[in-house]
Amino acid sequence: MEKFKAIINNQEIESNSWLDIMDPTTDEVYAQVSALSAQEIDSAFKAAKAAQKKWEAIGIEKRTEFLIRWRDLLLKNEEDLATTMMHEIAKAYKDCLTEVRRTAEYIDLTISEYNDLQVLTFDKNSKGVTEDIVAEYKRIAKGVGVGISPFNYPINLAVSKLAPGLLTGNTFVFKPATQGSVVGIKIGQLAIEAGIPAGVLNVVTGRGRDIGDVIVTNPLIDFISFTGSVPVGRRLMEISSSKDLVLELGGKDAAILLDEHNLENIAKDIVAGAFSYSGQRCTAIKRVITTDNIADKITPLIKAEVAKLTVGLPNENPIITPMIDKKSADFVTDLINDAVKKGATLVYGGTRDKNLLQPTLLDNVTVEMNVAWEEPFGPVLPIIRINEIEDMISVANKSNFGLQTSIYSKDVDLAYKVAEQLEVGTVNINRRTQRGPDVLPFLGVKDSGFGVQGIKETILSTTRYRGIIIKK
């Protein structure tokens, strides 16, 4: 079995302990990665700190060249990266390839967005300035960043933190999810191959519950970008040494249907939004809210679409693949059982072979059922019947999450009015919930997050103004 070593200061670390990386499809150990000690993690921060000023000083043109070389290497190695990802997280191979390509595009867009950033200047002719001064405000690096990514997009949600921060002159200690660590180490190896200097990108591996506190309490941290679950996000807020945090956490995105227009296409959109990568996406549609009349019409259409979903192993490129682990699959099964026990109608699915769950559709879900509120992060979609728009908004807003919502209606003005009342980061009218296009700001409110991601926003959150004012 192959072993992959963590990378600190561009050196592979000869650690004494190893962490098993499972293949969720076979439930066998696929590889091992270093399980770093507290001392080794501390040395990663020292390396990042030592490298930062020099990395910033080499200038934007040089850093852009390094990033382009890194992007080229990601693409050159896309098959290997996609295959690794497929084994680590059981995502369909073609979706893994798409993720690598989306990541390469993310780097290109980061470079072009950075070029569009304006330097702020003021002088005695500027509004509100009475002194004879010339003032210039440039964005500069914050310093040493921590990037912590989740399992479900191991390349994209890593590079979307790292690329903007690296481009602007920061250095990083990057901790990939355990399932996703081999890919995390591989992108670190490719950064070395791209010539990115020692200490600029350090990849530390180990179980989050063992090394997480050690990472986030290091005194050398200037900012943290985390994507993952709510409990870990909350812990970071409590204990991190830096309070400069961007947190992208879970979601319970609703699709609210206001009328009967275009139901066949909406059913297709909802199913794509709910079930891709087996629902293991923060932006997946995780509940449908609509009236009795509309539900009577759309439920059979959604059922027909769900029945078409392909189910199988990731190398066969289906939509539904085995869930990331048994604990997660058990959680979804419990949600389904709880709902059925309390009177929900099992319209489709509900069966399971180990971690491979059939896509499951539940109708007549009520607010007493856990599946109405919990984030399953798995292939189950509840339909909640509510007849008044005010009550739909109220149930949508009662969730502790506030990531995104979809509203489907032929009356865009009405949909817009509803959108204005929803407590979420983003509302999509007549489109499914999703993160892209990546140039858009991406944010959650309430338990769904803190701060904003997206290409420009990440450039902003990994930099600060430095003002220089000259009195004439």
Query: Contact positions toward ligand NDP, by CB under 6 A?
Result: 148-152, 175, 177-178, 207-209, 212-213, 216, 227-229, 232, 235, 248-251, 282, 375, 377, 403, 444, 449
Our answer to whether residue 248 is catalytic in this structure is yes
212 binds, among ligand 3PG, ligand NDP, none (CB under 5 to 8 A by kind): ligand NDP
C-beta of 95: minimal distance to ligand 3PG in Å? 10
C-beta of 100: minimal distance to ligand 3PG in Å? 14
- In order of 246, 441, 464, the CA distances from 461 in angstroms are 8, 12, 7
177 binds, among ligand NDP, ligand 3PG, none (CB under 5 to 8 A by kind): ligand NDP
C-beta of 451: minimal distance to ligand NDP in Å? 11
434 binds, among ligand 3PG, ligand NDP, none (CB under 5 to 8 A by kind): ligand 3PG
If DSSP codes are grouped into helix, strand and coil, which group holds residue 245?
A: strand
Phi, psi of 123 (to 5 degrees): -150, -170
Angstrom distance (rounded) from CA 372 to CA 60? 48
Tokens standing for residue 166: 């690296």
Q: Of 142 and 175, which has the nearer Cβ to ligand NDP? A: 175
Q: Of 283 and 364, which has the nearer Cβ to ligand NDP? A: 283
- Of 169, 162, 253, nearest to 455 (Cα)? 162
Q: Of 110 and 160, which has the nearer Cβ to ligand NDP? A: 160
Angstrom distance (rounded) from CA 280 to CA 274? 9
Residue 336, burial from CB neighbour count under 10 angstroms (0-12, 13-18, 19+) = buried
178 binds, among ligand NDP, ligand 3PG, none (CB under 5 to 8 A by kind): ligand NDP
- In order of 83, 278, 405, 417, the CA distances from 282 in angstroms are 23, 12, 12, 25
List beta partners, residue 353. 356
Angstrom distance (rounded) from CA 141 to CA 52? 9
Q: Of 8 and 386, which has the nearer Cβ to ligand NDP? A: 8
Q: Of 195 and 436, which has the nearer Cβ to ligand 3PG? A: 436
C-beta of 120: minimal distance to ligand NDP in Å? 30
114 binds, among ligand 3PG, ligand NDP, none (CB under 5 to 8 A by kind): none
Pairing status of strand 426-429 against strand 223-227:
unpaired
List beta partners, residue 407. 256, 429
377 binds, among ligand 3PG, ligand NDP, none (CB under 5 to 8 A by kind): ligand NDP
Amino acid making up residue 1: M
C-beta of 177: minimal distance to ligand NDP in Å? 4
Q: Of 176 and 349, which has the nearer Cβ to ligand NDP? A: 176
436 binds, among ligand 3PG, ligand NDP, none (CB under 5 to 8 A by kind): ligand 3PG
Q: Of 209 and 341, which has the nearer Cβ to ligand NDP? A: 209
C-beta of 212: minimal distance to ligand NDP in Å? 2
Angstrom distance (rounded) from CA 193 to CA 80? 15
**What is the dihedral angle through the alpha carbons of 394, 400, 402, 404, rounded to the nearest 10 degrees?**
-70
C-beta of 48: minimal distance to ligand 3PG in Å? 25
Angstrom distance (rounded) from CA 106 to CA 149? 16
Q: Which of 40, 78, 113, 248 is catalytic?
A: 248
- In order of 98, 152, 194, 295, the CA distances from 64 in angstroms are 23, 28, 11, 52
**Binding interface with ligand 3PG (CB under 6 A):** 152-153, 157, 281-283, 434-436
- Of 264, 382, 358, nearest to 306 (Cα)? 358
Cite the active site residues: 248
